[in-house]
A and B are shown apart, each in its own frame.
Chain A
């Protein structure tokens, strides 16, 4: 069985091939806005969004989670990574919007392991998601700090 610290180091700096483009649905924006109680007209009313200069509905700032989290989950459930997903705690989250996300956008996300360390029986993992459009132009950068128990510890 590999030493945990060796496994840890091996993953730092790794990145995963970008996923298939995700198409941002107009109704998904509405559904997400309702779920968080965001009632801004540009998230619900196409005419209002266009009047404000947007090509389509505007996604709320944390909308990126809807397409980045499933990718992170698939990565974290990879048995090779040895992550205790059941006891995972989301410790920290940041999102930088390089531009607003709109209905109809086709977005490509890549996952990067920025840091992975052990401290007092816990493993601390920083994952970065770079979200770009299909031309490669940056749309959003998000960082998640995730914490779980040291496996076998």
Chain B
């Protein structure tokens, strides 16, 4: 039985330039700061950075993988605190995602239980998502 304080199985993911290209195509976000070092540097970034929405989606996998159902997610919100800088090499950037059950609401009249999950995402030793939190329906 899920309880407040439970830790979710952590995820360690590598994000490469190829992942950014694939995400650009799938999401339709072709902002050049996600594929051109030249343009990224022209707006004072250290280099190409991951799409914030990709980082959000990757961190969301911590929750969908744990609950076992993407349809169980009721809400999901993040603050993009720092960009994930993705070097032009084969290893890419390492993103480490952890989470814990912060709250479980009293079951509603249909017996549905909703858990609030606090998520942490770090890359290069620094937090890249702040106040990341998802609400999910727990399996009955």
Contacts and interface: CB of A to CB of B under 8 A. Distances in A.
A95 interface: yes
Nearest to A140: B75
Contacts of B64: 38, 40, 60-61
A69 B28 contact: yes
B80 A36 contact: no
Interface in A29-86: 31-32, 34-38, 40, 42-43, 52, 54, 58-62, 65-66, 69-70, 86
A32 B52 contact: no
Contact of A62 (B60, B74, B79): B60
Contacts of B56: 62, 93
A92 interface: yes
* Chain B binding surface, main DSSP class: helix
A19 interface: no
A96 interface: yes
Nearest to A32: B26
Q: Which of A35, A40, A86 has the most CB of B within 10 A?
A: A35
B28 to A, nearest CB: 6
30 contacts: A34-B22, A34-B26, A35-B26, A36-B61, A40-B64, A42-B70, A58-B71, A60-B60, A60-B64, A61-B57, A61-B64, A62-B56, A65-B27, A65-B29, A65-B53, A66-B27, A66-B28, A69-B27, A69-B29, A70-B28, A86-B43, A89-B80, A90-B52, A91-B79, A93-B56, A93-B77, A93-B80, A94-B75, A94-B76, A96-B75
Interface of B: 13, 19, 22-23, 25-29, 43, 52-54, 56-58, 60-61, 64-65, 68-71, 73-80, 134
